[in-house]
Amino acid sequence: MSLIKERSIDRATQETLKKAKKENIPTCWDRLDAQQPQCGFGLLGLCCTVCNMGPCRIDPFGEGAAAGVCGANADTIAARNLARKIATGASAHSDHGRDVAHAASLVTKVHSHPESHPEGHRHHHDYEILDIGKLKLLAAEFGIDTAKPEEQIARELSKKLLEEFGRQEGELVFTKRAPLKRREIWKKLGITPRGIDREVVELLHTTTMGVDNDYKNIIATGMRCALSDGWGGSMIATDVQDVILGSPEPVRGKVNLGVLKEDQVNIVVHGHEPILSEMAVKASRDPELLKLAKDKGAEGINLAGICCTANEVLMRHGIAVAGNFLQQELAIVTGAVEVMMVDVQCIMPALHEVAACFHTKLITTNSKARFPGVSHVEFTPEKAYETAKQIIRVGVENFSNRKKDRVNIPKEEMDLVAGFTKEVVAQMLGGKYRGTYRPLNEAIISGRIRGLAGVVGCNNPKQTHDFAHTELVKELIKKDVLVLQTGCSAIACAKQGLLLPEAAAQYAGNGLREICDAVGIPPVLHLGSCVDNSRILTAASHIISEGGLGEDLSDIPAAGCAPEWMSEKAITIGFYFVASGVYTVFGASPFAVLGSKNLTHYLTHDIEEIVGGRFDFADTPVKMAELMIAHIDKKRKALNLKPVI
């Protein structure tokens, strides 16, 4: 059995794991131990279950079967398995975008100034247009007359966005945001995404029994599908959320299990889609519920988040983050959570058993993600506030069931600053009224900033929790690389204090520190949730249009990394980064392709000739940093920029 300090570097996690062990509550680490040894064929990508002549396995040592019953070889099987993961990851992000696009059609009014629209008179249950500027920019991109009333624009925009999912021909509108040279590459390769749903369906079709056998062609179809997520579904989710939930601005918050409160009702939101959790924020401030909480002996209602729902409400409201992916069970193990409300994605089925060990009520809210035997309160955007209030009331009522002698909330909590969108970065660097990427480009050109890194993705119990994220990021900022983060990776680094402006003095190289001090930003910028990786794509496109750093995204001294990934969504993100020209390193275990030498070589070498980006795999954060920095330096050299020592 793995030692607790090998399981996580985070003290709050270690302490709560000890509690779980003492109380005999298994967690994902124990279940990983119980899975050992994991299937070697699966790890290598050499098991195929596509049809009922199988399952078939290819012998990686070349002694047994070299092909499945149908004749599919290792290259075909590994490529198909990988491609199907791209499709599922894209479908998850994009379906999220679809729900947000639908919610945009329900806006009833434009948000007014608080003074002219006192809190008491506002309709909490409504979705509002909170960023009119962004609404109009989006409308203009879709050819909608921006002189119309804002609510009408929102409805028309919603319709056009929903059409992007069912589009059969042409190209997704947001792909026009990419530099011309990038679009020409996609066009030449035939991988410009046409319609979001179409690309997912086509990828699933081509990977079914007896269709595509050419691993390179399978990967090309996979890239088109991934692009339909990055420049489609995810981008829609991000931009429309900004319009109807408000564009994030820099905000201070707190992170780690210590944000749970002993004297308050603790409601934890977990999952990905903020259209419900946003209403939970409002409902947690509802005077009626606050009074009920007092009546039940609680000092208040404390809302906290896990995973990307946490990032969404953090970015917009400074709501505390209880933890990242591997802390979801542990939040319940503290014994202090009255309700964990979940929506979709990254929610462990084990939560049901863990919650059953405590008074915690697990509540599902989305018909796409039900748990047997778990209470379900169906969320619809039309009844969003009502639903949120109903769920929080359950939590308040449940407070008196908390067993005080079983509560142990770790002390650890850390401050952080989040809320850095592409617009905020431009404003902070270029000035509020003349937001521009010029100063960022100049800083890269001069070498004060060596380059940019996107460090994203999940946790995985196969890796020491949070270790690779934080060590990689420390290595990068030490070498003057400005780090952009999303998802559980950002939460990991936040817990170590890296998302504070003060971190620059402690960890950053001289050039990066100078910039951070002058602008007042941390050396690690939190851009939001997993769908907000699309913010990295648009920021990179702005960098190109600003000039001086090449003509294509692949010219920028930049690299991406998912150091502790676990989700299929991470694979999709990796593919839309690579297909957009970004060199991308995957940590943890490489995605299951190593059983095919041809496919592995293609993804880590030859594909760069074709799309300008490629994958690499590394098992330590130091190695990941070395690879990324070497790539950044290679790109600096190609641009004739002076080397950074």
Q: Catalog residues that contact ligand SF4 under the rule CB under 6 A.
A: 48-51, 53-56, 68-70, 72, 77, 209
Cβ of residue 562: shortest distance to ligand MSK, in angstroms? 8
Nearer Cβ to ligand MSK (345/554):
345
Nearer Cβ to ligand MSK (330/530):
530
Cβ of residue 68: shortest distance to ligand SF4, in angstroms? 2
**Binding residues for ligand MSK, per CB under 6 A?**
272, 307-308, 325, 346, 457-458, 487-488, 529-530, 567, 569
Cβ of residue 525: shortest distance to ligand SF4, in angstroms? 44
500 binds, among ligand MSK, ligand SF4, none (CB under 5 to 8 A by kind): none
Q: Which residues of 337-348 are buried (b: 16+ CB within 10 A; e: fewer)?
A: bbbbbbbbbbbb
- Residue 149 class from Cβ within 10 Å (0-12 exposed, 13-18 middle, 19+ buried)? exposed
56 binds, among ligand MSK, ligand SF4, none (CB under 5 to 8 A by kind): ligand SF4
Nearer Cβ to ligand MSK (265/488):
488
Cβ of residue 349: shortest distance to ligand MSK, in angstroms? 14
519 binds, among ligand MSK, ligand SF4, none (CB under 5 to 8 A by kind): none
Nearer Cβ to ligand MSK (56/530):
530
Three-state SS across 548-569?
CCCCCHHHCCEEEEECCCCCHH
Cβ of residue 213: shortest distance to ligand MSK, in angstroms? 31
Cβ of residue 459: shortest distance to ligand MSK, in angstroms? 7
Nearer Cβ to ligand SF4 (42/55):
55
457 binds, among ligand SF4, ligand MSK, none (CB under 5 to 8 A by kind): ligand MSK
- Residue 102 class from Cβ within 10 Å (0-12 exposed, 13-18 middle, 19+ buried)? middle
Name the amino acid, one letter, at 331: A
Rounded CA-CA distance 103/154 in Å is: 10
Rounded CA-CA distance 13/256 in Å is: 9
Nearer Cβ to ligand MSK (76/463):
463
Rounded CA-CA distance 257/527 in Å is: 22
593 binds, among ligand MSK, ligand SF4, none (CB under 5 to 8 A by kind): none
Within 13 Å, how many C-alpha atoms sit on residue 354's CB side? 30
388 binds, among ligand SF4, ligand MSK, none (CB under 5 to 8 A by kind): none
Tokens representing 212 are 């595509």
- The two beta strands, 451-455 and 558-562, are parallel
53 binds, among ligand MSK, ligand SF4, none (CB under 5 to 8 A by kind): ligand SF4
Stated as kind and residue range, the H or E segment containing 306 is strand 301-306
Edge-first strand order for the sheet with 414-418 is: 375-376, 361-364, 339-342, 265-270, 301-306, 320-323, 251-255, 414-418
In a 3-state reduction of DSSP, which class is residue 23?
A: coil
522 binds, among ligand MSK, ligand SF4, none (CB under 5 to 8 A by kind): none
Cβ of residue 489: shortest distance to ligand MSK, in angstroms? 6
458 binds, among ligand SF4, ligand MSK, none (CB under 5 to 8 A by kind): ligand MSK
Nearer Cβ to ligand SF4 (51/201):
51
Nearer Cβ to ligand MSK (86/611):
86
Q: Are 93 and 237 within 8 A, CB to CB?
A: yes
Cβ of residue 293: shortest distance to ligand SF4, in angstroms? 55
Q: What letter does residue 610 receive in the DSSP assignment?
A: H
- The two beta strands, 375-376 and 451-455, are unpaired
Cβ of residue 570: shortest distance to ligand MSK, in angstroms? 6
Tokens representing 104 are 């945009």
Nearer Cβ to ligand MSK (10/552):
10
Tokens representing 563 are 């150091």
